[in-house]
Structure 1
């Protein structure tokens, strides 16, 4: 019997309904157009500038999982990251806008699409249709570093009482918070830094997004079978589990692989274990996760992290397709090991 009890596995599951967000996680939190966004840290420390941010699962994975939830017209201001920032669109229509001044190109995405943005360049995003939308976000590495904000963000933030200390701590003067004596303030990027964060041409950036309709099953996936497909999305290099690099390959490293699983009604994936971190995010439908200690039923928007080495399987118990995105915590994931002793060919 597995050491992983149902109670223990439930602690590795974050239900969409249980997400705890923060509306003032960053320096742009009160500026017009950005004051209604919620930020979430689901796995890992994330990059929030506010210590009040709730971290649902702090265990180091080699990457971070976060999310953003925004209503129509709400924007996430222009910023740059030191590590990979990859988006899975759960709900809503969004536009990713590039350049410090939002004038160097854009990509439009909608539910089921995936987009990843290069390191060391400015990006922001805006919710473009009615209602509230949710973006699932993967940030590279255990420590993704601090956000670099565009110069305009600093001025707007100060106008609304927010100041950013060197090292990334946010001070909200409207709440009576004071800048500590002798503390050094974070400064806007200078001209030299802005040149370092130049935007690649749109001909390159367009390669870093995949529409849901263009995702294709990999027949070489060891998880594929009747009613089951696994699609390649992000792969820096060829992997040991039947996946070649790509289709998204950047000029920077992600150091994780992103796949999409699709299970038709009644389809199953037999018990197997992985040698790297595995995080499952359910895009739509219902997915049963099972192991010899029990089973969990996952719904749309739920996130589960699977212990390394745990024998586990999947089943779709519902009448609609189950679609889930999988983050594997290695640039080149190894082949799964199946319970009956079968090892997928490398």
Structure 2
């Protein structure tokens, strides 16, 4: 396979995303039944074997997305690994706590790193369809989702059953009702006491609003673009705006008026999410040179160890860079 064929296979176009509508046990629960789940890189925490996965191979983290119309919710759940969101379209009300008693609204370009061991859910508010990218830590994302007891109980009334092995049984699609010993146990009141809680004030350090992005001294000594260090370890040499130990970090670049980010190589696995504009990515693996143009919403899984450069070719490019470390090393500029 040539390098060009390889990078073409690692590109997921926004306009070609294939949603799953039955990925989780709340997929038929009224108020949660019109949501789309996207597995872009890795299967994430999708529970249905029928979920489409664009790129299956992962390298320490998964990239997914959630899309839904106004008023539709993703029900209360918790993770044991990192879950970060980048809002791409619309506005989302994120709510958290054992009963979802706290909330905050995030809009386009806002990012949140949600602490583990915390129940969370979200719904789209306003009039527009909402879409946000998700970053899930780990290759297997901790083995799945822990659902609030009310979610499991209600889902069974709509033919969806969650088993102990985290698989989803759908009786409306012909599956048999699982025996009681195979079902995922419902959390007890005692179990619920082990989960954490955060007030709105305690959650604020885990959020960076797009309007509050602060550029950093960039890695490339350029003056015609900006670099942002958005989420990562407090022990990193980057001054991340959200300081969280998620095993991943999120950076971004703003390239205007034909600006070019020079060729560089990183030790960490990286994925690019092209948020706006058209961006030309040139890839060099030491032997071959290849190119791909990223348009708005496209996701590119960069071959590990390859050198890349970025060039703005239309509009103002804004590109997120997700790295497979919350304490990344500086890039090697070529």
Q: Do the structures match in fold with TM over 0.5?
A: yes
Aligned to 1:222: 219
Q: Which residue of 1 aligns with 2:322?
A: 327
Number of the residue aligned with 2:311: 315
Number of the residue aligned with 1:306? 302
Name whichever of 170-179 and 278-287 sits farther off: 170-179
Q: Does residue 152 of the first structure (1) align with residue 153 of the second (2)? A: no
Residue 21 (structure 1) aligns with = 19
Unmatched tracts of structure 1, length 5 or more = 340-346
Corresponding residue number in structure 2 for 1:247: 241
TM-score (norm 1): 0.91
1:257 to 243, 249, 264: 249
- 1:186 maps to 184
Once residues 242 and 27 of structure 2 are traced to their aligned partners in structure 1, the CA distance between those partners, rounded to angstroms, is 32
Cα–Cα, structure 1 residues 224 and 75, in superposed 2: closer, same or farther, change >3 Å?
A: farther
What CA distance in whole angstroms lies between the structure 1 residues aligned with 2:179 and 2:67? Answer: 35
Aligned equivalents of 1:257 and 1:27: distance in 2? 30
| C-alpha displacement of 1:60 | 2.2
Cα separation, 1, equivalents of 2:181 and 2:17: 33
* Structure 1 residue 224 displacement after superposition: 5.0
Deviation of residue 180 (structure 1)? 4.5
What's the TM-score once normalised by structure 2's chain length?
Answer: 0.94
Which residue number corresponds to residue 234 of structure 1? Answer: 231
Change in Cα spacing, 1:60 to 1:4, as seen in structure 2 (3 Å) is same
Distance 1:237 1:212 in 2: 20
**Match of residue 267 from structure 1:** 259
1:336 has 2:306 as partner: no
Which residue in 2 is equivalent to 1:162?
160
- Written as runs of structure 1 = structure 2, the 5 A alignment for 1:84-103 is 84-103=82-101
Map of 2:108 onto structure 1: 111
Shift of 1:331: 2.0
Quick one: distance in 2 between partners of 1:313 and 1:184?
A: 50
1:343 aligned partner: none
Measure the CA separation in 2 of the matches of 1:177 and 1:107: 38
Q: Contact 1:278–1:305 (CA<8 Å) still a contact in 2?
A: yes
Provide the residue aligned with 1:79 in structure 2: 77
Long gaps (5+) in structure 2: none
* Residue pair 1:88, 1:113 contacting (<8 A) in 2 also: yes
Higher deviation after alignment, 174-183 or 118-127: 174-183
- Name the structure 1 match of 2:129: 132
Deviation at 1:207, TM superposition (A): 1.3
Moved more, 78-87 or 37-46: 37-46
**Structure 2 residue matching 1:213: 3-state secondary structure:** helix
Higher strand share: 2
Quote how far apart the aligned CAs of 1:248 are.
Answer: 1.1
1:286 is paired with a residue whose SS is: strand
**Alpha-carbon distance in structure 2 between the residues aligned to 1:48 and 1:294:** 33
